[in-house]
């Protein structure tokens, strides 16, 4: 002990120092513990209480989105059903304004905002199979709506009206130029068909008779041609009405909210449109080209076919 | 069912009838184009009138 007294004293001192350090650490630990208790009291416990409330709130929000979307969809669908009834094919005359109103509702139903809602409904139905009835919105969007669009497009074109262009644009802005082109070409096709029929009417009456023709055959040919050119005039008139309707529209707003040029310009310059010419010019160009071919065939001409350009 | 042969379509009688009545045919064409316009004016002779009259020119050239 005498030998190691100094060492022992050092050790005792060291124990004292350690003791003081332990005491200070204990104090710090107590502080940490009380801080933790305070944190737990002020944050974790309220969080635990709030968490189920938050989940319930989120579920309620989803339910509200679905209900709001479904209500909006039902409202628009009901409105469309009433408007479609106004355009029933059984009616003798269909007011083009009624078709325009229905087209506007179809456009609202096709909006991306409605699609977001129907997608949300789809996602919710996956989570909650009991809500499978809501799939009706998807079915409506993917099948019924395209059929309705097709019917309205057809009704807007037969016969062409002043509102035909705006209706076709509202129903399908992307395919609008191609639709106008198809409608004008179809009209020219109809005109050419009646000319073709008139030119063959003489041979129809000649069937079983003489090969030299006669007064009857000539009369049939001319009366047939008169009727045919009246039909050509009617088809041309329809296209002129369509063009007037397109000319009177100024600017339209597309799906992205961008301003696009007037409908006539869109029909002329748009993708798969009228190649830079007006509908009437396109119509008469096709009529002229087709008539030239048919008259040449009828008269068996042996000269080269001319080309027809009309750029007004 | 009764079919029309190519011979029936290209009838000399039809060609002759159209050729002899060509002014009548021209009038029909002109009236169809002008009548389709809003501003129906008999003296109108726009590009579509010219084009459509050209389309029946083969009638006169046929022999």
Per residue in A97-116, pLDDT (tens digit) is 888 999 998 888 877 666 67
Q: A286 and A252 share a domain?
A: yes
Q: A145 and A213 share a domain?
A: no
pTM assigned to the model? 0.71
Q: A184 and A42 share a domain?
A: no
Q: A244 and A212 share a domain?
A: yes
Amino acid A248: pLDDT: 83
CA distance A301 to A292: 10
Among B14, B17, B32, whose Cβ lies nearest the Cβ of A232? B32
Q: A153 and A12 share a domain?
A: yes
Interface test mutation site (partner A, options B4, B8, B32, max chain A beta carbons within 10 A): B32
Q: A105 and A215 share a domain?
A: no
Q: A105 and A198 share a domain?
A: no
Within a domain: A305: no
Within a domain: A162: no
Within a domain: A308: no
Among B2, B47, B57, whose Cβ lies nearest the Cβ of A312? B47
> What are A35-92's pLDDT values in tens digits?
999 998 999 899 999 999 999 999 898 888 878 877 888 888 888 888 888 887 777 7
Which of the pair, A154 or A142, is modelled with greater confidence?
A: A154
| Domain residue extents for chain B | 13-61
Interface test mutation site (partner B, options A160, A288, A290, A297, max chain B beta carbons within 10 A): A288
> What are A146-201's pLDDT values in tens digits?
888 888 888 888 888 888 988 899 888 888 899 899 999 999 999 999 998 888 87
Within a domain: A288: yes
Amino acid B2: pLDDT: 41
Interface subset of A 265-294, CB within 8 angstroms of B:
280-281, 284-285, 287-289, 291-292
Q: How far is CA A80 from CA A76, A103, A104, A194, A211, in A?
A: 6, 9, 9, 37, 60
Q: A206 and A290 share a domain?
A: yes
Q: A10 and A137 share a domain?
A: yes
Q: A240 vs B37: CB contact, 8 Å cut-off?
A: yes
Q: A59 and A38 share a domain?
A: yes
Q: A55 and A91 share a domain?
A: yes
Q: B48 vs A280: CB contact, 8 Å cut-off?
A: yes
Residue of chain B with shortest Cα separation from A240? B37
Interface test mutation site (partner A, options B52, B53, B56, B61, max chain A beta carbons within 10 A): B52
Within a domain: A147: yes
Which residue among A120, A136, A157 closes a domain?
A157
How many domains, chain A?
2
Q: A76 and A208 share a domain?
A: no
Q: Is the pLDDT of residue A308 over 60?
A: no
CA distance A230 to A221: 14
Structural domain that includes position A100: 1-157
């Amino acid at each position: 002990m005498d030998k190691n007294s100094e060492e022992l004293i050092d050790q005792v001192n060291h124990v004292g120092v350690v003791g003081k350090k332990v005491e200070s650490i204990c104090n710090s630990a107590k502080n940490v513990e009380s801080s933790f208790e305070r944190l737990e009291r002020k944050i974790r416990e309220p969080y635990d209480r709030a968490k189920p409330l938050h989940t319930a709130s989120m579920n309620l929000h989803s339910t509200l989105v679905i209900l709001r979307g479904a209500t909006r969809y039902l409202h628009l669908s009901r409105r469309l059903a009433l408007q479609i009834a106004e355009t029933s094919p059984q009616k003798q005359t269909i007011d083009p304004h009624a078709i325009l109103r229905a087209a506007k509702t179809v456009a609202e139903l096709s909006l991306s905002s409605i699609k977001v809602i129907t997608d949300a409904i789809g996602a919710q139905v996956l989570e909650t199979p009991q809500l499978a009835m809501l799939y009706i919105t998807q079915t409506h969007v993917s099948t019924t709506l395209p059929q309705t669009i097709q019917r309205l497009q057809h009704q807007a074109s037969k016969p062409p009206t002043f509102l035909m262009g705006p209706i076709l644009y509202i129903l399908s802005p992307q395919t609008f130029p191609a639709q106008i082109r198809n409608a004008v070409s179809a009209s020219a096709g109809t005109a050419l068909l009646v000319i073709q029929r008139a030119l063959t009417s003489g041979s129809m009456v000649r069937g079983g008779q003489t090969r030299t023709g006669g007064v009857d055959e000539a009369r049939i040919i001319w009366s047939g041609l008169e009727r045919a050119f009246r039909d050509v005039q009617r088809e041309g008139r329809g296209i002129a009405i369509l063009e007037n309707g397109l000319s009177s529209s100024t600017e339209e707003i597309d799906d992205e909210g961008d301003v696009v040029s007037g409908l006539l310009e869109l029909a002329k310059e748009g993708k798969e449109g009228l190649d830079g010419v007006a509908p009437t010019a396109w119509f008469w160009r096709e009529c002229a080209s087709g008539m030239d071919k048919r008259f040449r065939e009828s008269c068996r001409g042996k000269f080269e076919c001319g080309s027809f350009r009309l750029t007004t | 069912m009764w079919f029309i042969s190519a011979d029936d379509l290209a009838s000399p009688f039809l060609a002759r009838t159209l050729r002899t009545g060509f002014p009548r045919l021209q009038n029909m064409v002109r009236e169809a184009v002008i009548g389709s316009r809003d501003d129906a004016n008999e003296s109108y002779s726009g590009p579509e009138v010219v084009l459509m009259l050209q389309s029946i020119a083969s009638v006169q050239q046929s022999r």
